[in-house]
Structure 1
């Protein structure tokens, strides 16, 4: 999964204060719906896993309702951990996390022929060992909606507040999970976990680290690397102020623009989301829904591209029969998009690092992982901010293995913090290395060393 075009700041760190804040308990009428069959799913009969969808109102004034997918653990739902998964962007649907990363569904990437795209069972889903709530948030994402235009005016803090209200209300209606261990998980802009992948913290190092990463990967020359280090000290590489620095960073951007920055070894492809502002000369999809509504979809990637599955997802999710199967409220979302560019989104939490310290030192465990071929939020920067927390090392840098092969490298710290790289993975590591990431998560959630 690729997030939306804007990665610049952290979003929902206040969610971690869930355990520290006191919120009033709300009366809640259940809107849960059990989904037993999905259009396009190739296996005969009922789904081989428990899937529930629903809405929970998180703002009574504007009528904001967040849509969710809940999948029970296939092992022991009554005792296995409960994960609340928040997809990045901000503005990317939770269905990305479900069908591209850690959920039990996968699209078959085959050329679209006018029929509904097909899905199959994904054997490396994290619901093998955990219960997972995939939440469409913030409002406006996926199938979540507001009954009033002002309800869509959201940001880091309101997203955090809505997520907390959602979780409180959901647990009231699912009290059998109140005693299960709870983990908040996500990646990219939602990576404030505490299972977090290639996370954005809001610190300059998140994106400034692209330069040393590119140098280490042989993408830029010694001269350019040294010139940026000399002329850009203390600068924000995304918005440089000094002309000599800006000039050098433009050269760097030219090199970067030739690559698929979510995974530098993969072919450069269109994202299939969100809609570009300038579509001249770009092949676009057109879909006619069963209701005869014409949707002009995202650019169509080449079939060889990983992102072709994102295009198939768009077609699938906009089908009326799919939305009926998911019990989506009619008329609330005109067009489902995998990722939206939320122009109205307010980035009002400048950095998450103080929250990282507060939560970990309060006794909560943390797993921070990075796909080592991601250039959007490179592991180089993540490793640097982890070290800036100044926690003592409890298990020194070493390789970790799956199937007798190196799957990445890891280091553990005091306050129950584990950092790991995933070898060969991109920005959303489980999308690229599903087997290895499931093994990583299984070991960590079981309180074992990687």
Structure 2
């Protein structure tokens, strides 16, 4: 029997007022004498509880790294109880002038190593030469660090190599996680003052489609109240973004029909009997429930991360039910599927999780990355299930307290802010149809209507541009053949897209 389950918090980090702040906060740091301001930055850096190290080599990769990698911890929250770990890679172009971007991975609770190794970073695992006992790394040509300085942040505490000093500090929610991420960014910039003047962008994908706008808002709030040195925020980018809970989920069935996974009759039955609402369904609506059972039978063996890729885990006996799936499907490629006893187990995209965990849990890797000793007995996992959000079941560690961030995007449209929103067009986790729907709901003026964009004279996707000025625009782009998330499946196209957007060139 197809059962539809019914859907069943603001903490502000505090900092101690140090003596130097009495001078540096009068009235705005940007108005201080340059020499005094430099002294303030130095004193501020001494006040931040942190550690940072340059990493010259990495186990699994021969020779010295051909790029500058720094890792470290910065404490945030009350008494710096949350120790957030980061990987910082300087731009391989012109780090002094190139933009600075902080990148958030989804989940929530998934390590930023995912974004670094499999989406937009400069190295990954070479599966052809690797074993679980000895993962081998290789450089990749389509890293976004070719043109930007990028901070990959493990957040919230409990993600990747980040941890908390008290059990209570592991309990968080969307707004608190965003405030602490903003606190991290300010502390990081105080410790890296040479990047204060670089254009600043905030980026992320999947579940971080919620976190990115919340952090951008924190930046604007801080700038408007004159909080220390203003941040040079220029815009943000979100890929395959979870934005509006109802809209994103309810776009899955229309997307499946759009992609010929559902017949006209099946789609019509579901739409009419459920009224377009497939997430929270009246348990007494037997016609809707019956229609969704039919939908499930059509989609239960479809890989929702990329509908053209095979379902990988043939040993998992848990049945997939697309419309009872929780947000653990976001940013985690393993799927719950029917057992296929006759199929042979072959390497697939999901296996990257095993290789990454094998690499990250090696002692020499942790030593190279300078992981805190407090983390010695903690296993690194790609996604921390105690933090990952379940829409239908309230979890004690992470509260899903922001249902939609569409209003934030509408607010940013009134500011000097540039936005890039992109979607893999074969992603059924966060279908591009839902993303396009909320963008259209902003009622922004269209200055460049739907058209193809190209890489190597081939169609790389389709794009629209809203508003049009040097410092105010929103671009939506699909990535042809991309899944969840787009950069993992189409790295060359996504790098081209990112380069053009940064340069304000036409896609």
TM-score of Structure 1 vs Structure 2, range by shorter chain:
0.7 to 0.9
Mapping of 1:29-44 within 5 angstroms? 29-41=49-61, 44=62
- TM-score by length of structure 2 reads 0.76
1:126-181 superposed Cα distances (whole Å, 9 cap, x missing partner): 00000000000111000000010000001101111110000000000000000001
Structure 1 pair 278–331 and aligned structure 2 pair: CA distance change class (3 A): farther
**Residue 198 of structure 1 is aligned with which of 240, 245, 252?**
240
- Structure-1 residue corresponding to 2:324: none
Give the C-alpha shift of residue 30 in structure 1.
Answer: 4.4
- TM-score, normalised to structure 1, is 0.86
1:4 aligned residue:
none
Of 388, 406, 409 in structure 1, the residue corresponding to residue 462 of structure 2 is: 409
* Pairwise CA distance, 1:306: 1.4
Q: Secondary structure at the match of 1:227?
A: helix
- State which of 372, 376, 388 in structure 2 corresponds to 1:329: 372
| Distance across 1 between alignment mates of 2:441 and 2:335 | 39
* Structure 2 residue 314 is matched with structure 1 residue 267: no
CA distance in 2: counterparts of 1:172 and 1:87, whole angstroms = 23
Deviation at 1:196, TM superposition (A): 0.5
C-alpha contact (below 8 Å) 1:104/1:127 kept by paired residues: yes
Extract structure 1 runs of 4+ deviating beyond 6 A: 271-279
Determine the C-alpha separation between the residues in 1 that align with 2:404 and 2:286: 27
Contact 2:88 2:150 (8 Å CA) reproduced: yes
Q: Distance in 2 between matches of 1:219 and 1:28?
A: 53
Pairing 1:153–2:171 present: yes
Distance in structure 2 (CA, Å) of the matches to 1:52 and 1:133? 9
Which of 54, 68, 72 aligns to 2:86? It is: 68
Q: Which has the higher helix share?
A: 2
Q: What's the CA shift for 1:246?
A: 2.6
**Partner secondary structure for residue 411 of structure 1:** strand
Q: Which residue of 2 aligns with 1:239?
A: 280
1:98 counterpart = 2:155: no
- Contact (CA 8 Å) 1:110, 1:303: kept in 2 or not? no
Of 438, 442, 445, which aligns to 2:499?
Answer: 442
SS of 1:247 mapped into structure 2: helix
Q: How does 1:146-225 map to 2 (within 5 A)?
A: 146-192=164-210, 193=212, 194-225=236-267
Counterpart mapping for 1:117-156 below 5 A: 117-156=135-174
The alignment of Structure 1 onto Structure 2 pairs a total of residues equal to: 410
Q: Which residue of 2 aligns with 1:14?
A: none
Q: Is the 8 A contact 1:274 1:337 kept in 2?
A: no
The structure that has the greater radius of gyration is 2
1:287 is matched with which residue? Answer: none
TM-align CA RMSD: 2.8
CA contact (8 A) 1:62 1:148 kept: no
Structure with larger RCO (C-alpha < 8 A, sep 6+): 1
**Deviation digits for residues 57-90 of structure 1 (CA, Å, limit 9, x no counterpart):** 0123471110000000000001101110000111
In structure 2, runs of 5+ residues without a counterpart are: 1-6, 8-27, 30-43, 213-235, 317-330, 388-394
In structure 1, list runs of 5 or more residues that go unmatched: 1-7, 9-21, 284-300
Distance in 2 (CA, whole Å) between partners of 1:111 and 1:266 is 23
For the pair 1:227 / 2:262, whether they are aligned, the reply is no
Conserved 8 A contact 1:302-1:308: no
Cα distance in 2 for partners of 1:64, 1:103 equals: 25
